[in-house]
């Protein structure tokens, strides 16, 4: 269907405009940045990340999006329907320049089968979260999200300080590999059990993990040493989590003083064929069985038995008073189905650690330097520290990120800020653009792992206090409000993260072009967007959110009625 051919794409940098103003230019650069070979997983297929999360429906659509943006007037709005530019309509300068809707299906048809059929016909595209909404910036987000989770655990359980503490977990895969670095960032030691040497090697090479222990005794000795020295060192251990964790439980029960301060897991227990090594199996046996459909039933059963043992050990740790959480890999459900009836005694990571932050409108805020110059980001890093001098966690993150995280594509930064903080940052950046302190405008956006713009009952809105997990009025209100406020582009997606049928969510991006008009828009949008998160959680009955609303002066008409 598409006549245009794949080609290497890179966002233009510098101060020369291709489009009619910086707001439009920002969209023009950011869609290209999403497809930069240094950013995208499979740029030829327009795939940015997350399975088949794409930035445009096909190459014809991609080229026409660029063309439409080049021609777009400052009072027009371009509509994108699942990655295809379908219309250009009159609006006004304070309205968004682009509005996007990706992968949305009427509920009774909202499943992968129907989606795939439409996708094959060229009528649809999977937008994931930041892929189809043109604000993906590489893997910085994974480290940072995990860091925030650990940092919040530190705040909740250890008076805000993880120093001298240690995290016990497993899995050094695509996402799980961020755990040791994130723990280090949070000030903690960590022990990560991983059954494949190749995965450990990769993480050692990229400095995501510091050291590998020879065996469990060696690992515990290192942990004891580093925690005593208050050094945040990460240790990998080759082994099967379903063997190592029960052994650790047994040692603690037998009197060992070396016990973890936080327990979690990121093996791929959600996929019992390819994701979880059964107890007593070698990795080679596992891979062979995974590659042979006739052995899948056996493999699944064996992996599930392993998960049950693994979860039992996690429950044992919890029973000792050690904070324990599921990291979104479904391992509790597997164990529950195996007969571990109290598997859900420990919570998921969102209700446990992320929700309290959502209640304050906090979540993965991010920004990108359109100049292409890393110095611009370093200056904004400094500005954030200056604006929030008491935010120790943020300071620590910014320092670590600068040192250990490589930029991919346009220089960018992620940092969790909440209601009352984001618009301050936005206004400060806009001022820096205005005065010329920064070389070019800054683009501000956020993930859809967010407080007010996501309904995802298996993740972001799992176990809401009032049972409103599946109510999706909230992301729709968020998208309309951000449109009303004058964001630069706004998107509404379905199925991100958890797949077709299971989520609805909205994205927002706004540009600091240094103008006074942008000041007004930034003040509104970066207040309103996290504000809807506080509102949604206050409405669900969370006290932190109700307090935040009151303290910050959010207008919630029914609060307290």
Ligand X SMILES: NC(=O)c1ccc[n+]([C@@H]2O[C@H](COP(=O)([O-])OP(=O)(O)OC[C@H]3O[C@@H](n4cnc5c(N)ncnc54)[C@H](O)[C@@H]3O)[C@@H](O)[C@H]2O)c1
Positions that interact with ligand X (CB under 6 A) = 170-176, 193-196, 199, 240-242, 266-270, 275-277, 306, 327-329, 459
Name residues whose C-beta falls within 8 Å of residue 319's C-beta, 6 or more positions apart in sequence.
Answer: none
With tokens 């103003």, the residue in question is 21
Residue 128 known to bind ligand: yes
- The partner in contact with residue 430, picked from ligand X, a second copy, none with C-beta cut-offs of 5 to 8 angstroms by kind, is none
Chosen residue from 10, 44, 88, 378 binding a second copy by CB under 8 A: 88
With tokens 């929700």, the residue in question is 355
Does 95 help bind a second copy (rule: CB under 8 A)?
yes
Minimum Å gap between C-beta 94 and ligand X is: 35
Of 11-19, 101-109, 225-233, 278-286, the segment contacting a second copy by CB under 8 A is: 101-109
Angle subtended by helix axes 22-34 and 59-71, to nearest 10 = 160
Chosen residue from 94, 215, 292, 375 binding a second copy by CB under 8 A: 94
Does 118 help bind a second copy (rule: CB under 8 A)?
yes
Q: Which is nearer to a second copy, 210 or 529 (CB)?
A: 529
- The partner in contact with residue 85, picked from a second copy, ligand X, none with C-beta cut-offs of 5 to 8 angstroms by kind, is a second copy
With tokens 């088949």, the residue in question is 52
Name residues whose C-beta falls within 8 Å of residue 54's C-beta, 6 or more positions apart in sequence.
Answer: 45, 46, 47, 48, 83, 125, 126, 127, 128, 131, 132
Q: Which is nearer to ligand X, 132 or 497 (CB)?
A: 497
CA angle 46, 48, 51 (to 5 degrees): 100
C-beta separation of 317 from 288 below 8 A: no
Does 539 help bind a second copy (rule: CB under 8 A)?
yes
Chosen residue from 312, 474, 518, 526 binding a second copy by CB under 8 A: 474
Does 110 help bind a second copy (rule: CB under 8 A)?
yes
556: three-class secondary structure by DSSP = coil
Q: Which is nearer to a second copy, 247 or 473 (CB)?
A: 473
Annotated active-site residue 307? The verdict is no
Binding mask 333-372 for a second copy (x = CB under 8 A): ----------------------------------------
Q: Given the DSSP bridges, would you call strands 412-417 and 363-369 parallel, antiparallel or unpaired? A: antiparallel
Does 134 help bind a second copy (rule: CB under 8 A)?
no
Minimum Å gap between C-beta 84 and a second copy is: 6
Residue 50 known to bind ligand: yes
Kindly tell me the sign of the dihedral angle through the C-alpha atoms of 172, 336, 359, 361. Answer: positive
Residue 497 known to bind ligand: yes
Does 556 help bind a second copy (rule: CB under 8 A)?
yes
Minimum Å gap between C-beta 39 and a second copy is: 25
Residue 240 known to bind ligand: yes
Minimum Å gap between C-beta 380 and ligand X is: 26
C-beta separation of 77 from 96 below 8 A: yes
Active-site residue (options: 61, 195, 307, 415): 415
Q: Which is nearer to ligand X, 323 or 496 (CB)?
A: 496
- The partner in contact with residue 92, picked from ligand X, a second copy, none with C-beta cut-offs of 5 to 8 angstroms by kind, is a second copy
Q: Which is nearer to a second copy, 205 or 561 (CB)?
A: 561
Structure tokens at 198: 């190749």
Across the beta sheet with 211-213, the strand order is 211-213, 234-238, 189-194, 166-170, 262-263
Residue 267 known to bind ligand: yes
Phi and psi torsions of 117, nearest 5°? -60, -45
C-beta separation of 458 from 465 below 8 A: no
56: three-class secondary structure by DSSP = coil
Residue 241 known to bind ligand: yes
DSSP run (H or E) holding 212: strand 211-213
Q: Which candidate, 517, 528, 540, places its Cα nearest to that of 479?
A: 528
C-beta separation of 110 from 500 below 8 A: yes
Cα distance from N-terminal residue to C-terminal residue, the chain: 56
| Touching a second copy, residues 479-538 (CB under 8 A) | 479-481, 483-486, 490, 492, 494, 500-504, 520, 523-524, 527-528, 531-532, 535
DSSP 436: T
Residue 199 known to bind ligand: yes
The tally of CA atoms less than 13 A away on the side-chain side of residue 480 is 6
Going by the annotation, the residues of the binding site are 50-51, 128, 174-176, 194, 199, 240-241, 266-270, 276-277, 327, 497
Active-site residues, by number, are 415
Going by the annotation, the residues of the binding site for NAD(+) are 50-51, 128, 174-176, 194, 199, 240-241, 266-270, 276-277, 327, 497
């Amino acid at each position: 269907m598409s006549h245009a051919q794949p080609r290497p794409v890179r966002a233009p940098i510098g101060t020369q405009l291709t489009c009619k103003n910086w707001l439009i230019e920002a969209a023009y650069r950011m869609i290209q940045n999403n497809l930069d070979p240094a950013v995208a997983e499979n740029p030829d297929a327009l795939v940015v990340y997350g399975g088949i999360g794409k930035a445009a429906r096909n190459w014809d659509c991609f080229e026409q999006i660029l063309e439409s943006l080049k021609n777009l007037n400052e009072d027009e709005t371009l509509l994108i329907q699942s990655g295809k530019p379908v219309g250009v309509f009159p609006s006004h300068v304070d309205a968004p320049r682009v509005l996007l809707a990706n992968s949305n299906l009427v509920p009774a048809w909202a499943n992968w089968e129907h989606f795939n059929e439409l996708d094959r016909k060229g009528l649809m595209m999977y937008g994931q979260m930041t892929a189809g909404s043109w604000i993906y910036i590489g893997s910085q987000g994974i480290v940072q999200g995990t860091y925030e989770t650990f940092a919040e655990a530190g705040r909740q359980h250890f008076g805000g300080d993880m120093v001298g503490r240690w995290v016990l977990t497993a899995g050094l895969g695509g996402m799980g590999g961020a755990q040791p670095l994130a723990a280090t960032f949070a000030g903690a030691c960590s022990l990560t059990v991983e059954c494949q040497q190749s995965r450990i090697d990769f993480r050692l090479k990229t400095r995501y993990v510091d050291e590998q222990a020879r065996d469990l005794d060696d690992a515990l000795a290192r942990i004891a040493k580093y925690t005593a020295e208050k050094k945040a060192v990460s240790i990998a251990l080759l082994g099967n989590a379903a063997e190592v964790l029960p052994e650790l439980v047994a040692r603690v029960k037998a009197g060992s003083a070396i016990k973890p301060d936080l327990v979690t897991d990121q093996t791929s227990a959600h996929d019992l064929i390819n994701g979880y090594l059964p107890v007593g199996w070698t990795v080679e046996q596992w891979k062979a069985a995974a590659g042979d459909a006739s052995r899948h039933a056996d493999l699944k059963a064996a992996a599930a038995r392993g998960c049950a043992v693994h979860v039992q050990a996690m429950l044992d740790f919890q029973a000792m008073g050690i904070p324990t959480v599921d990291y979104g890999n479904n391992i509790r459900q597997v164990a529950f189905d195996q007969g571990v009836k109290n598997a859900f005694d420990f919570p998921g990571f969102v209700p446990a650690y992320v929700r309290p932050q959502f209640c304050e409108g906090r979540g993965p805020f991010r920004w990108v330097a359109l100049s292409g110059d890393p110095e611009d980001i370093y200056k904004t890093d400094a500005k954030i520290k200056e604006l929030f001098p008491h935010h120790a966690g943020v300071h620590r993150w910014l320092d670590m990120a600068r040192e250990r995280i490589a930029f991919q594509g346009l220089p960018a930064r992620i940092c969790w800020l909440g209601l009352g903080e984001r618009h301050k940052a936005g206004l400060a950046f806009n001022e820096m653009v205005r005065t010329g302190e920064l070389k070019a405008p800054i683009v501000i956006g956020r993930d859809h792992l967010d407080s007010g713009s996501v309904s995802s009952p298996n993740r972001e809105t799992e176990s809401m206090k009032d049972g409103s997990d599946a109510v999706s009025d909230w992301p729709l209100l968020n998208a309309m409000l951000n449109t009303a406020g004058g964001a630069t582009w706004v998107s509404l997606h379905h199925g991100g993260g958890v797949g077709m049928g299971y989520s609805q969510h909205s994205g927002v991006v706004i540009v600091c072009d240094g103008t006074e008009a942008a000041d007004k828009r930034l003040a509104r949008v970066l207040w309103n967007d996290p504000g809807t998160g506080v509102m949604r959680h206050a409405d669900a009955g969370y006290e932190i959110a109700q307090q935040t609303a009151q303290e910050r002066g959010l207008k919630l008409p029914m609060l307290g009625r």
